[in-house]
Chain A
Amino acid sequence: MSQSNTFTLDGKTIPYSEGQTIIQAAMAAGEYIPHLCFNPEFKPHGSCKLCTVKANGRQTASCTQHPAPDMVVESDTKEINDERRTLLQMLFVEGNHFCPSCEKSGNCQLQATAYQLNMMSPHFDQFFPDRPLDASHPDYLLDFNRCILCSLCVRASRDVDGKNVFALSGRGIKSHLIVNAKSGRLADTNFSGDDKAAHVCPVGVILKKRVGFAIPIGSRSFDEQPISATPHPQGACPVGPRSNAATLPPHPTVKDA
């Protein structure tokens, strides 16, 4: 019996090549699986669990799981979407996500994913943590209130920029994003606006100064179309395995606003 390199995603046949993960093959086929810490340009982190699917009946993160021939993958089901919504609600109450005053509103993947999954309320009690800003850098602002610990800036700075400006520190509920400088301030690092790390934040933590509302709220990426219809919001998704992020071509990003 010959084996086909295809699996089914919610009943649709999806081809894959050796080394691809489920989400990579799905994206290449134009299918949307909700995700936050996954970015096609970087090695998967597998931490946000938004991309959880059921593969042959078992829950797994589709950004780290490789498909097998004829695997039956379920993604857009009530059960999984309910769990994804709960994950989102926990992310929202853990930080301070006040969309009306956020420059990233409308271009934010956390917000757009919450719209996509019909999150009408945070459901849980708010933590209201105290997370001071870092406005020390002349061109960039860090608003830690919105950090979801996706580690994309950590991966970009380490793997692409070769700078190690960011890191995740602490464990469990005390995990937080830190800046690699004795003072802990962004101004005391060699971070620059040309860095990949300056352009990968899916939420509103790493913000370019003085351009916040150049594109008005209401005319932004996810105001125009839902995230499921926006092809790869963080960039193109080249087909095939990616072992070396640094060699990948540049890609269009969500409007910097």
Chain B
Amino acid sequence: MNAPTKKLRVATTSLAGCFGCHMSFLDIDERLLELVQLVEFDRSPLTDIKHCGPCDIGIIEGGLCNAENVHVLREFRANCKILIAIGACAINGGLPAQRNHLSLSAILEEVYHAQHGLVDGFIPNDPELPLPLDKVHPIHEVVKVDYFIPGCPPSADAIWKVLTDLLAGKEPELGHGLIHYD
């Protein structure tokens, strides 16, 4: 029997995303068993670890819509040797960025004050709440991103291809059928 090789440490998170990319990641199904032979998880919705420690690979779903997203992203970048943006929102802002042509104050006003049926509405200002950013941004506008897996969400096969290419020490390549923006 071969000596066990050191497992690569992987962290994942969803910022301004819907967890759809994480769901698609889980869609690799029984290949998860193969994957956990090769990797162990650090911070991730799968482990409930709250802060990212030193990792080989960090996977970021979602863009940046508030200050906390930026803090988490910077923590990932500081700790991960390879950072991967997964899904449309991390790559170009995606659905949350549809608010970008409206002013933030107008949106908060509409949602918490003016909308029909609201009684005594007020804009939440609890100090625990992260401040929203003026605009939603893709993550490569704030930190260096090493690889991108586009898609909404990317297919399980696309995610598997990138991860297995990386684990094999190759440049990830998707090609027709796996590269999708929709």
Contacts and interface: CB of A to CB of B under 8 A. Distances in A.
A92 B176 CA distance: 20
B16 interface: no
A128 B101 contact: yes
Contact of A100 (B85, B94, B100): B94
B152 A226 contact: no
Given A98-B97, A128-B135, A122 B92 contact: yes
A97 interface: yes
Nearest to B140: A121
Interface stretch (A35-43, A58-66, A112-120): A112-120
B interface residue count range (under 10 / 10 to 19 / 20 to 34 / 35 or more): 20 to 34
Interface residues of A, number: 27
A97 B150 CA distance: 13
Interface stretch (B26-34, B40-48, B141-149): B141-149
B61 to A, nearest CB: 14
A128 B92 CA distance: 10
Nearest to A100: B152
B88 A100 contact: yes
A115 B175 CA distance: 8
Interface in B167-182: 173-176, 179-182
Interface in A230-245: none
Contacts of A225: 176
A104 B137 CA distance: 24
B62 interface: no
A194 interface: no
Given A126-B138, A130-B101, A121 B182 contact: no
A114 B93 contact: no
A123 interface: yes
A131 B88 CA distance: 20
B95 interface: yes
A99 B152 contact: yes
A120 B147 contact: yes
Contacts of A125: 141
A44 to B, nearest CB: 28
Interface in B58-114: 85, 88, 91-95, 97-98, 100-101
A102 interface: yes
A101 interface: yes
Interface in B125-145: 135, 137-138, 140-141, 145
Contacts of A111: 181-182
Contact of A226 (B97, B100, B176): B176
Nearest to B90: A121
Contacts of B145: 121
18 contacts: A92-B92, A98-B92, A98-B94, A98-B97, A98-B98, A100-B88, A101-B95, A118-B179, A120-B147, A120-B149, A120-B150, A121-B145, A122-B91, A122-B92, A122-B140, A123-B140, A129-B101, A130-B101
Interface of A: 92, 97-102, 105-106, 111, 114-115, 118, 120-123, 125-126, 128-131, 217, 223, 225-226
